[in-house]
Structure 1
Amino acid sequence: MRGPLTLDAMAPVLFVLLWSTGFVGAKYGLPYAGPMTFLALRFALVIAGMGLWTLLSRAPWPTRRQWGHLAVIGLTVQLGYLGGVFAAIHLGLESGVSALIVSLQPILSAILAKPMLGETLHKRQWLGLALGLAGVALVVSNKLAAGVGDWRGVGLCLIALACMTFGTLWQKKYGANLPLRSGAVAQYAVALVGALALAFLFETREVRWTGEFVFALFWLAAALSFGAIALLYRLLRTGAASRATSLFFMVPPVAAFWGWAFFGETLGPTALLGFVLAAAGVALAMRPQPKHVEEKPAA
Structure 2
Amino acid sequence: MSRPLPPRAGPVPPPAHREGGVWLRLVPGLFVLLWSTGFIGARLGMPHAEPLTFLALRFALTAAILGPAALLARAPWPRHGREILHLAVAGLLMHGVYLGGVFVAIRLGLEAGLSALIVSLQPLLVAASAPVLLGERVGPSTWAGLGLGLCGVALVLARKLGLSASDAWGALACLAALAGITVGTLYQKRFCSGHDLRSGNFVQFAASAVACWLLALLFETRQIAWTGELVFALLWLVLVLSLGAITLLYLLLRRGAASRVASLFFLVPPTTALIAWPLFGERLGILELLGMVLTVAGVALVNLGRRL
TM class by shorter chain equals: 0.7 to 0.9
| Bigger Cα displacement from structure 2, 218-227 vs 11-20 | 11-20
Question: For residues 54 and 202 of structure 1, do their structure 2 counterparts lie closer, same or farther at Cα, with a shift above 3 Å needed?
Answer: same
1:22, distance to aligned residue in structure 2 (A): 0.6
Q: Are the equivalent residues in 2 in contact too, given 1:107–1:128 (CA < 8 A)? A: no
Q: Deviations over 1:125-160 (max 9, x none)?
A: 566666666776788785364759612212211211
Residue in structure 2 matching 1:233, options 250, 254, 258:
250
Question: What are the residue-to-residue correspondences of 1:164-203 with 2, within 5 Å?
Answer: 164-203=181-220
Residue in structure 2 matching 1:162, options 179, 189, 197:
179
Counterpart residue identity of residue 110, structure 2: L
Question: For residues 182 and 31 of structure 1, do their structure 2 counterparts lie closer, same or farther at Cα, with a shift above 3 Å needed?
Answer: same
Q: Are the equivalent residues in 1 in contact too, given 2:193–2:250 (CA < 8 A)? A: no
1:3 is the counterpart of 2:18? yes
Partner of 1:18: 34
Unaligned runs of 5+ in 1: 291-299
Query: Hey, what's the Cα distance between the residues in 2 that align with 1:207 and 1:200?
Result: 14
Counterpart residue identity of residue 39, structure 1: L
Question: For residues 129 and 171 of structure 1, do their structure 2 counterparts lie closer, same or farther at Cα, with a shift above 3 Å needed?
Answer: same
Question: What are the residue-to-residue correspondences of 1:110-189 with 2, within 5 Å?
Answer: 110-122=127-139, 142-143=159-160, 145=162, 150-189=167-206
Unaligned runs of 5+ in 2: 1-12
1:88 is the counterpart of 2:105? yes
Residue in structure 2 matching 1:205, options 222, 225, 232:
222
Query: Hey, what's the Cα distance between the residues in 2 that align with 1:179 and 1:195?
Result: 24
Partner of 1:294: none
1:3, distance to aligned residue in structure 2 (A): 2.9
Question: For residues 289 and 15 of structure 1, do their structure 2 counterparts lie closer, same or farther at Cα, with a shift above 3 Å needed?
Answer: closer
1:52, distance to aligned residue in structure 2 (A): 1.1
Query: Hey, what's the Cα distance between the residues in 2 that align with 1:162 and 1:91?
Result: 19
Residue in structure 1 matching 2:53, options 29, 32, 37:
37
Q: Are the equivalent residues in 2 in contact too, given 1:36–1:198 (CA < 8 A)? A: yes
Query: Hey, what's the Cα distance between the residues in 1 that align with 2:176 and 2:253?
Result: 22
Aligned length: 289
Q: Are the equivalent residues in 1 in contact too, given 2:189–2:254 (CA < 8 A)? A: yes
Query: Hey, what's the Cα distance between the residues in 1 that align with 2:171 and 2:224?
Result: 25
1:261, distance to aligned residue in structure 2 (A): 1.8
Query: Hey, what's the Cα distance between the residues in 2 that align with 1:179 and 1:37?
Result: 28
Query: Hey, what's the Cα distance between the residues in 2 that align with 1:176 and 1:141?
Result: 37
Query: Hey, what's the Cα distance between the residues in 2 that align with 1:229 and 1:148?
Result: 33
Query: Hey, what's the Cα distance between the residues in 2 that align with 1:65 and 1:268?
Result: 51
Query: Hey, what's the Cα distance between the residues in 2 that align with 1:282 and 1:244?
Result: 10
1:57 is the counterpart of 2:73? yes
Report the structure number with the largest CA radius of gyration. Answer: 2
1:170, distance to aligned residue in structure 2 (A): 1.1
1:179, distance to aligned residue in structure 2 (A): 2.4
Q: Are the equivalent residues in 1 in contact too, given 2:123–2:146 (CA < 8 A)? A: no
The secondary structure found in structure 1 opposite 2:18 is: coil
Q: Are the equivalent residues in 2 in contact too, given 1:249–1:283 (CA < 8 A)? A: no
1:258, distance to aligned residue in structure 2 (A): 1.5
Question: For residues 288 and 280 of structure 1, do their structure 2 counterparts lie closer, same or farther at Cα, with a shift above 3 Å needed?
Answer: closer
Question: For residues 3 and 281 of structure 1, do their structure 2 counterparts lie closer, same or farther at Cα, with a shift above 3 Å needed?
Answer: closer
> How much identity, in percent, do the aligned residues show?
55
Query: Hey, what's the Cα distance between the residues in 2 that align with 1:248 and 1:201?
Result: 32
Normalised by the size of structure 1, how large is the TM-score? Answer: 0.85
Query: Hey, what's the Cα distance between the residues in 2 that align with 1:151 and 1:130?
Result: 26
Q: Deviations over 1:38-81 (max 9, x none)?
A: 10010010010001101212222223121111011111001011
Counterpart residue identity of residue 74, structure 1: G
